[in-house]
A and B are shown apart, each in its own frame.
Chain A
Amino acid sequence: MKIRRNRKKFSREAAGQAPFFLALGLAAVAAFAYLWLNQRCEALGRRLSQLDAQKAELQRQIKQERSRWESAKSLDQVEKLLLRHHLTMAWPDERNIIRIRRVADEPSAAEPAASRRQYARAGGVAHD
């Protein structure tokens, strides 16, 4: 004898279980999202740390190079190099120098009073 399926009853049961599966699905999605976010945070943290270290290393290198460059171009060092290459430097003759006065050299109103007065006394124009 063929058993007849009670479709009405089945659909009622399925409808009753749907929220449960939905909640289960949502929980699973939330769990996966949590895992993914956790993984992402971990990866970003690692990246952050790497960049921190890289930044510190680059800053160190900049400082190191700056220090070396300053030592290399110190006037003592330049004199030694000139001497080694038998080079002698002399100032240009004063009569061959053309001095150009710039507007920027004029004393400004923001300058301290004492200084301004002295500049004024000196003829109103600072030497360039």
Chain B
Amino acid sequence: MTERTTTWRMILVLIAVLGVWTGLCGRLVYLHLFPSQKLVEDSQGGHILKRELPVARGRIFDTHGHLLALDLPMKNVIADPTLTTNDQQKYDVALKLAQTLNLDPALILPRLETPRSRYKVIQKFVSVEITTNLAAQKLPGVFFEDASARRYPHGTFACQVLGFANLEGVGSAGVEQRFHDLLKGRPGLRIGEQDGKHREIYDRRGTEIEPQDGADVHLTLDMHVQHLVERALDEAMRVHQAKRAWCLVERVRTGEILAMAARPNFDPNDYRNADTNAIKNLAISHVYEPGSTFKLATVAAALDAGTVTADQIFDCESGKWLFRGRLLHDYHPAGRLTVADIIKKSSNIGAAKIALTLGEERLDQYLRAFGFGRRLGLDLPGEEGGILYPHRQWTALSISRIPMGHEVAVTALQLLNALCCVANDGHLMRPYVVARIEDAKGLVLRRGAPVELGQPIREDTARLMRKLLIRATEPGGTSTKACVAGYTVGGKTGTAVKFVNGQYDSRYNVASFCGFLPAEKPEIGLMVVVDEPQPLHTGGLVAAPIFSQIASNAVRCLQIPASATLLAGAAETTGGPL
């Protein structure tokens, strides 16, 4: 090989190498100066870390700060079946998962036998203690995801008021639903870079937006009073073999709801297995014909309009009265009764005759002023407005039936609120369950405050009505079993025959009692409703004792002083057992 040939070869190699290098450099310059969008996205996408920072849903408290609902950090257990290589390994992993998670291995194994999938949920919302135990076992292909689960530490307590948040964290009933936007908070955001193994490069952390925890909701519910109500309802369901029962307690002067419960109930921690009827808040969502409890509105209206006086006498026709071709009965037949005694004896005929003095139009006006036939604006979802047809649509019999609580449908809340209006010198207050909502920094976002909806009756009429309602709980009245030792009680019983299969069937009744105490200076109003109690079925025998049971302890919980006049004479003023 000549020296010349060697030189040429070297030159050619040099040219080739230079050509390659020039090409590479050219490409490099091109990529840097004129990069295509796709390439930029591909290169950056792998390194950019964009992580949503989890946020805790707001908590729910009672009026004393007892925690009723909170979010607990949990983990989801996930499997990547592609990382378990053989059948024996799959079986071992399934067995260990089943033992730790208390599951059937036969349910886990099929999920591990899906080689194409890299993401199989084994179990959601597992406590961190359990996942720590699992992590220590270093099972191949098993990893964990952060999750958050809603917990209600008191179980079924106040379940219809609280409602529940579903697995996606969306409030789906009660306070959880009504204030979901405030409770849910706002998740944070972290933008940075990660290495090839998806580990964060800490010093490349760019944007960091702190999560804003959800606002805390403080309710007006009093845990102790709520407990009394819940226990009394459980007992009522057992003793009276009732189909349903519900009760609510309201502070007369402000409209604060102190307790609200219904049976059947459900556990919001396990809402997926709850009966839909149990989720319904009967106190505000269920409308029913109230029966005689409605007479208090009729009589108050007539007294306020001046069409009757308390001592005016009406002929109650010895319990049977033919009005426009249809008989009207009294449960306790009576002859001539004063208006005061009509309330005390709960005469249907008397109430109808009182309403006739008032006339359809004015009765309709008064009833609507008391809040019937419309929603009161309670801060909970599902409130019903009841049914009260305009007087132009009333039948010829309506004027005799509506005064005794038929041909009209109300919620327990409406009726209790009307009673509280009488107890509150004629001022109708808007009921509310949320005392305040505070954000995570303690800033008050919303404050529940007493709101007056109107004054359907004058103050002197309300005072007179209170006296008449006190008489109903005195000997000879229908509500004697509602008495509370040491306290004067005013109230009204109701026994409504239910409309079943196209007709009123006396075997099915709704027994109710609404009352307030201490009657001389009312503090709280209570409403008890028992649906289809057996064998006793009247409000006086079924609902009034429940009222007494709850009220006698509630006054102690709420530190309401006993009536001074009764205190001196009372031999025993203690309430029932705690």
| Chain A residues proximal to chain B, CB less than 8 Å | 38, 41-42, 44-46, 48-49, 56, 59-60, 63-64, 66-68, 70-71, 74-76, 88-95, 99, 112, 114-115, 118-119, 121-123, 127-128
Residues B253 and A115 in contact, CB atoms below 8 Å apart = yes
Residues B577 and A70 in contact, CB atoms below 8 Å apart = no
Contact of B224 among A66, A75, A112, A127 (CB under 8 A): A75
Q: How far is the CB of A34 from chain B (nearest CB, A)?
A: 12
Residues A89 and B577 in contact, CB atoms below 8 Å apart = yes
Q: Which residues does chain A contribute within 8 Å of B570, judged by CB atoms?
A: 94
Contact code string B426-446 (vs A, CB < 8 Å = 1, else 0): 010100000000000000000
Q: Which residues does chain B contribute within 8 Å of A44, judged by CB atoms?
A: 202-203
User: Which residues 509-545 in B have Cβ within 8 Å of A in the complex?
Assistant: 521, 523
A63-B73, A70-B66 in contact; A93/B574 too (CB < 8 A)?
yes
CA distance in complex: A74, B574 (Å)? 24
Sorted nearest first, the 8 A-B pairs with minimum C-beta distance are: A45-B202, A70-B153, A41-B203, A94-B573, A118-B253, A114-B452, A115-B450, A75-B227
Q: Which residues does chain B contribute within 8 Å of A92, judged by CB atoms?
A: 574
Known contacts A91-B575, A94-B567, A112-B449; 12 further A-B pairs (Cβ under 8 A): A41-B202, A42-B203, A45-B203, A49-B200, A70-B66, A71-B153, A74-B157, A75-B224, A89-B578, A99-B559, A123-B521, A128-B559
Q: How far is the CB of B73 from chain A (nearest CB, A)?
A: 4
The residue of chain A having its C-beta at the shortest distance from the C-beta of B223 within the complex is A75
A41-B203, A42-B202 in contact; A63/B72 too (CB < 8 A)?
yes
Q: Which residues does chain B contribute within 8 Å of A118, judged by CB atoms?
A: 253-254, 424-425, 427, 450
A71-B154, A76-B154 in contact; A94/B253 too (CB < 8 A)?
no
Residues B66 and A91 in contact, CB atoms below 8 Å apart = no
CA distance in complex: A114, B154 (Å)? 34
Q: Which residues does chain A contribute within 8 Å of B573, judged by CB atoms?
A: 93-95
The residue of chain B having its C-beta at the shortest distance from the C-beta of A89 within the complex is B578
Residues B253 and A119 in contact, CB atoms below 8 Å apart = yes
Q: Which residues does chain B contribute within 8 Å of A93, judged by CB atoms?
A: 572-574
User: Which residues 347-382 in B have Cβ within 8 Å of A in the complex?
Assistant: none
The residue of chain A having its C-beta at the shortest distance from the C-beta of B563 within the complex is A94
| Chain B residues proximal to chain A, CB less than 8 Å | 56, 66-67, 70-73, 128, 151, 153-155, 157, 200-203, 205, 223-224, 227, 253-254, 424-425, 427, 429, 449-452, 486, 521, 523, 553, 556, 559-562, 567, 570, 572-575, 577-578
Q: Which residues does chain A contribute within 8 Å of B572, judged by CB atoms?
A: 93
Q: How far is the CB of B442 from chain A (nearest CB, A)?
A: 17
CA distance in complex: A56, B561 (Å)? 47
Q: How far is the CB of B453 from chain A (nearest CB, A)?
A: 10
10 contacts between A and B (CB under 8 A): A48-B202, A60-B128, A63-B56, A76-B155, A90-B577, A91-B574, A114-B254, A114-B450, A114-B451, A123-B521
A56-B73, A74-B157, A114-B429 in contact; A38/B203 too (CB < 8 A)?
yes
CA distance in complex: A44, B204 (Å)? 12
Q: How far is the CB of B216 from chain A (nearest CB, A)?
A: 13
Q: Which residues does chain B contribute within 8 Å of A56, judged by CB atoms?
A: 73
CA distance in complex: A80, B127 (Å)? 26
A42-B202, A91-B553, A91-B574 in contact; A70/B154 too (CB < 8 A)?
yes
The residue of chain A having its C-beta at the shortest distance from the C-beta of B523 within the complex is A127
Q: Which residues does chain A contribute within 8 Å of B521, judged by CB atoms?
A: 122-123
A63-B71, A63-B73, A115-B253 in contact; A94/B562 too (CB < 8 A)?
yes
Residues A115 and B449 in contact, CB atoms below 8 Å apart = yes
CA distance in complex: A38, B201 (Å)? 12
Residues A127 and B73 in contact, CB atoms below 8 Å apart = no
CA distance in complex: A122, B523 (Å)? 10
Q: Which residues does chain A contribute within 8 Å of B574, judged by CB atoms?
A: 90-94
Residues A112 and B450 in contact, CB atoms below 8 Å apart = yes
CA distance in complex: A95, B571 (Å)? 10
Q: Which residues does chain A contribute within 8 Å of B72, judged by CB atoms?
A: 60, 63-64, 67
Q: Which residues does chain B contribute within 8 Å of A122, judged by CB atoms?
A: 253, 521
Q: Which residues does chain B contribute within 8 Å of A115, judged by CB atoms?
A: 253-254, 449-450
Contact of B559 among A38, A67, A90, A127 (CB under 8 A): A127
The residue of chain A having its C-beta at the shortest distance from the C-beta of B459 within the complex is A121
The residue of chain B having its C-beta at the shortest distance from the C-beta of A49 within the complex is B202
Q: How far is the CB of A35 from chain B (nearest CB, A)?
A: 13
CA distance in complex: A41, B193 (Å)? 14
CA distance in complex: A68, B425 (Å)? 45
Q: Which residues does chain B contribute within 8 Å of A48, judged by CB atoms?
A: 202
CA distance in complex: A102, B457 (Å)? 34
Q: Which residues does chain A contribute within 8 Å of B425, judged by CB atoms?
A: 118, 121
